[in-house]
Structure 1
Amino acid sequence: MGNKSWVDIFEAINGHDFVHKLLDFGDAFISECVIPENNILWQDVFNSMLHVIKSFDKNFYKETYPSIPVWYNSNIRVGMKTLFIKSWYKKGVRLIDDFLDDKGNLLSHNLFQHKFDIQVCILQYNSVLSAISTHLKLFENKGVFNRAFSPYIPLFYKPLILQTKCTKSVYKQLNVNHDIPTSVSKWNLDPVAYGIEICVKDAFTVCFKTTKDSIIQWLQYRILHRILPVNYYLKKINVVSFDCCTFCNDEVETIQHVFIGCEKLSILWSNLSMHIYKTTSKRIGFNVLNILLGELPLLKGNRIVNFLILYTKQYIFSCLKKKKTNCQDSWNYCSIYTTNTRLKNVLHIRI
């Protein structure tokens, strides 16, 4: 950890002992002691760290439960309060492993006193033991207990300390989520989806698999999360007082209406499909589902279709922002590809 520049800075500000406590204690130490005592910058840093710590699932704890810290652990409480007994900590009591014998069973009061050469109130010890025991019940079938012969790496920082660059590990940890986002589940319920079940993973990755253009990626992200600044959304958040379509001025300007429903733009998709057919002799159909979410599933042959859809949507949205109402007439299909020959070659190979 000494090579991590932010830790060096934090240690210079707060001292070596404080950094050791950060490694020895649980998540509640960050929320109860670290964050309130620091400025906005460090509050943000440690709020992020806390988010990483709380993202670990039960399987992670199950495999490493002996190294779970006892002090300031939000899951080990007595009387609704986290634990910290200074005299025990000074004697080296830090982890659940310190309360276990060689077979993984909880130590008796006498054995614990003998192990750490400390006098402990039996009522206090039983309270702590009860809290630990309750927490361990979460890990049924913990498996064979193997005590480490070397000091444990601090549990919450193990994925970070063992790697020179930990940003990728943190990113993956924060994105381990199998829940369906509310925005996508709404697409499943929306009548425009025709009841077709959407593959969440594909819907969110289709853009990144198709192009590295950050402008296009940001556009599709806002469409998927229903936060694209169309008039319906802007009125909803009190930015504008009207929600009529910029192009037709007849209906409410929703995401679906702008890209699919507006009569002034519907011909654009038909013309694009015809242009591709005349150029390549390939028939590509554009519909409500693939215009909004992409051509799914993610197959190699669908990449060019998604490319065309994404850049056409970017053109439409650009016209919307500029209030250019005649975009269906001035759309240059060759702006996506430099020549019709290149378009023909790409389609011939991949479809």
Structure 2
Amino acid sequence: MLAYKHNFSPHRYFLWNNKDIRFKNKSLFFRNWFENKIILVGQLLNEDGYLLSYGEFIYKFKIPITPKEYAIVFDAIPRGVVSLLNSSVVDVSNIDLHENIIIGNINIKDKCSNKQIRNIVCDTTIPSARFFWSNIYGDIQWGNAWKIANKYCISNKVKEVSFKMLHRIYPVKHVLERFKLNIDYKCDFCGMEKETILHLFFACIYSRMFWIDIKNFVTKEIGPVVLFNGFDIMIYFRNSDIDKDVVYLITFHIHKCKWSNLKPNFFHFINEVYVKQL
């Protein structure tokens, strides 16, 4: 488990367990370097601000390392960091290798599991989507919202769409607008309003007509009138008269139509569902 700081400082830029310094997509840790207090990238620069050559490294630190080990570490260091450190002086005299690292009430240098650390982080971290949907729909049983999709026998692709909708990371054009792309941000279905998650899956005229067709079909088949609202589609379906996994299949159909340049179609959806059941 790696713990990172957001207050980046090149003068305290660590070599080990650094997400930016990797070999074969894995962070590095060489114990013999660490025990000899080679900890920061800044220690590997010469007086001119350039990375030490192999000979300069051996002369400076007096530890035996192989050329391969040298190449792994030095090739992994981002050149942008070297530029930031150019002509800097790094003082390692005050570095305490035995300094405790505390997260919550756990010292991660002691024996502890990733589960313990994750539980502490999760207890203090609230997804931003929670505030957004709570402002729209009021009180939500978030324990059900996060877990309910995993209770049904549906494919991971269907679950992924539901997950992205709930966390507000589904790539509708409103989400992509932050990247300032040169595209039309209107809805792919109606072409009239901005394409948000709520609009695409519920409020768009084509999606609403699709949901009305579904409602009429379900009402005809099971008797009671079944109404679909934004909460049922975006958070979780609360009606007990029909199988709740059907809603996930319906939103997945809308998802496929968006990326196939088609409009949601009730007859196509029914054919898909029956074909998969056969």
Please give the TM-score of this superposition, normalised by the length of structure 2.
0.58
* 1:67-78 paired onto structure 2 within 5 Å: 71-74=98-101
Residue of structure 1 in register with 2:133 after alignment: 187
Cα distance in 2 for partners of 1:202, 1:12 equals: 41
Q: Which runs of 5 or more structure 1 residues have no equivalent in the other structure?
A: 1-9, 22-28, 44-68, 76-137, 140-153, 161-166, 343-351
**3-state DSSP class of the match of 1:198?**
coil
Cα distance in 2 for partners of 1:189, 1:155 equals: 37
Paired residues, number: 206
Q: Is the 8 A contact 2:202 2:230 kept in 1?
A: yes
Residue of structure 1 in register with 2:227 after alignment: 285
- The alignment status of 1:33 with 2:58, answered yes or no, reads no
Cα distance in 1 for partners of 2:75, 2:153 equals: 34
Cα distance in 2 for partners of 1:285, 1:293 equals: 15
**3-state DSSP class of the match of 1:245?**
coil
Q: CA deviation at 1:252?
A: 1.0
Change in Cα spacing, 1:219 to 1:241, as seen in structure 2 (3 Å) is same
* 1:195-274 paired onto structure 2 within 5 Å: 196-274=138-216
- The alignment status of 1:14 with 2:31, answered yes or no, reads yes
Change in Cα spacing, 1:201 to 1:42, as seen in structure 2 (3 Å) is farther
Change in Cα spacing, 1:174 to 1:302, as seen in structure 2 (3 Å) is farther
Higher helix share: 1
Q: Is the 8 A contact 1:183 1:224 kept in 2?
A: yes
Residue of structure 1 in register with 2:85 after alignment: none
CA RMSD, 1 decimal: 4.2
Change in Cα spacing, 1:323 to 1:285, as seen in structure 2 (3 Å) is same
Residue of structure 2 in register with 1:332 after alignment: 269
Q: Is the 8 A contact 1:273 1:285 kept in 2?
A: yes
- The alignment status of 1:313 with 2:251, answered yes or no, reads yes
Q: Which runs of 5 or more structure 2 residues have no equivalent in the other structure?
A: 1-26, 45-71, 78-95
Change in Cα spacing, 1:207 to 1:247, as seen in structure 2 (3 Å) is same
Change in Cα spacing, 1:206 to 1:230, as seen in structure 2 (3 Å) is same
* 1:130-209 paired onto structure 2 within 5 Å: 156-160=109-113, 169=115, 173=119, 176-177=122-123, 179-190=125-136, 193=137, 196-209=138-151
Cα distance in 1 for partners of 2:188, 2:144 equals: 31
Instruction: Give CA deviations for 1:125-181 in whole Å, capped at 9, x if unaligned.
Output: xxxxxxxxxxxxx98xxxxxxxxxxxxxx9645334xxxxxx7x3685476425432
Residue of structure 2 in register with 1:275 after alignment: 217
Cα distance in 1 for partners of 2:248, 2:265 equals: 16
Instruction: Give CA deviations for 1:69-120 in whole Å, capped at 9, x if unaligned.
Output: 9922256xxxxxxxxxxxxxxxxxxxxxxxxxxxxxxxxxxxxxxxxxxxxx
Q: Which has the larger radius of gyration?
A: 1
Change in Cα spacing, 1:11 to 1:176, as seen in structure 2 (3 Å) is closer
Cα distance in 2 for partners of 1:39, 1:175 equals: 31
Please give the TM-score of this superposition, normalised by the length of structure 1.
0.47
Q: Which letter does structure 1 place at the counterpart of 2:269?
A: N
Residue of structure 2 in register with 1:323 after alignment: 261
Instruction: Give CA deviations for 1:256-289 in whole Å, capped at 9, x if unaligned.
Output: 1111111122121111122122223344321111
Q: Is the 8 A contact 2:201 2:207 kept in 1?
A: yes
Q: Which letter does structure 2 place at the counterpart of 1:310?
A: Y
* 1:299-310 paired onto structure 2 within 5 Å: 301=240, 304-305=243-244, 307-310=245-248
